[in-house]
Amino acid sequence: MVRDQETLSLLLNTVARFVRERLVPAEAEVARTDHIPEEIVAEMRRLGLFGLTIPEEYGGMGLTMEEEVQVYFEMGHTSPAFRSYFGTNCGIGSQAIVIDGTPEQKARYLPRLASGELIGSFALTEPGAGSDAASLKTTAVREGDHYVLNGTKRFITNAPEAGIFTVMARTDPMKKGADGISAFIVERDTPGLWVGPPDVKMGQRGAHTADVVFENCRVPAENLIGGVEGQGFKTAMKVLDKGRIAIAATAVGVAERMLQDALRYACEREQFGKPIAEFQLVQAMLADSQAEIYAARCMVLDAARRRDAGENVNLQAACAKMFATEMCGRVADRAVQIHGGAGYMAEYGIERFYRDVRLFRIYEGTTQIQQLVIARNLIRKEKLYG
């Protein structure tokens, strides 16, 4: 936790400089090779990026959500693949343990997640359970002091790199919905756990997803998160509330980068005898982008502050995630448009961002799921207090 402006500015300036001097120059190489160079990963570890949100007593920095989103605004100024690599350790890969883990689980895993020695991954989605996550079919059957897991998880971020997985599985087959689901910590070298080959994706090369398959995978009972069955779906939803604000913050950062690239291009590119930035139709695209970025930034900061204050931010997180990621899509489209023919060419990099940001509107709950979350919150409130 920072909580003083001087230290926070120094921290954000350091991240901004790391992004500018180390990550931006490596963007094209990461996209070409689908791999983040080892020396950059080592530098991210040394900087402490993997431990941003892990409590200080477990070796992290214990940043508040308000502080964390400001780091992501800065990290957004480069390819999202970099944030994705350490981001699961700060977010969905560690938070189930941080929020609902037992003291033993925290002591065992959090220090290694904070240092980046261990990569954490979050396994909820299945081939038949995406948006309808509560219908998941992976089972966990108690046998003595173990649970036996069977099932397949799909599109699992950082699975090829992960050392531990937070896995949501059904412990009570009689309960079809959310109540029958429990969350487990599964170590990578557990017999019966298989990670598939990395998926071939539209964008975000350098960040990897893969299937994770469990075949009679025996997990010690002490790895049931929180030590209580039937809490797994609630844990997952709490993790996702936080994750949605983080994705919204990243979308704001990347939108800022794309606008900056488009602005620079518009000021340099001349047509009809003057820079295209002087034409009002181009100006409209720049202005609309800036205004929307500002709105999304304010939403993200407000949602983060409310979460820090202990409020239930289910509604605000969904609003911020939906608006910021849809905004990011519009800014990406305008940034390509401002670049004209050059925007369609790989050389300028903007088409890469255009593909990278398409994912923001899909993962951590699609825009349509956010709409349902928002509407349900409204209707529930109307029924309670209306």
- Give me the residues that bind another protein (CB under 8 A), please: 2, 4, 6-7, 9-11, 13-15, 17-18, 20, 43, 46-49, 51-52, 61
Residue nearer to another protein on the CB measure, 10 or 107: 10
d(CA 81, CA 32): 12
Smallest distance from the beta carbon of 8 to another protein, in angstroms? 9
Q: Please identify, using beta-carbon distances, which residue of 115 and 190 lies nearer to another protein.
A: 115
Burial of residue 297, with CB atoms counted within 10 A of its CB: 0-12 exposed, 13-18 middle, 19 or more buried:
buried
* DSSP characters over 162-205: -SEEEEEEES-TT--SGGGEEEEEEETTSTTEEE-PPPP-SS-T
* Structural tokens at position 33: 């090779």
For 6, other C-beta atoms within 10 Å of its C-beta total 8
Q: Could you tell me the smallest distance in angstroms from the CB atom of residue 369 to another protein?
A: 33
Q: Tell me, yes or no, if 311 is annotated catalytic.
A: no
Closer CB to another protein, residue 9 or residue 271?
9
Smallest distance, another protein to C-beta of residue 115, A: 10
Q: Which is nearer to another protein, 63 or 373 (CB)?
A: 63
Among the listed residues 67, 43, 184, 45, the one whose alpha carbon sits nearest the alpha carbon of residue 114: 45
Q: How far is the CB of 191 from another protein (least distance, A)?
A: 36
Selecting among 68, 256, 292, 364, the annotated active-site residue is 364
Inter-residue contact 166 to 97 (CB < 8 Å): yes
Distance CA 315, CA 377 (A): 6
Which residues are marked as active site?
A: 364
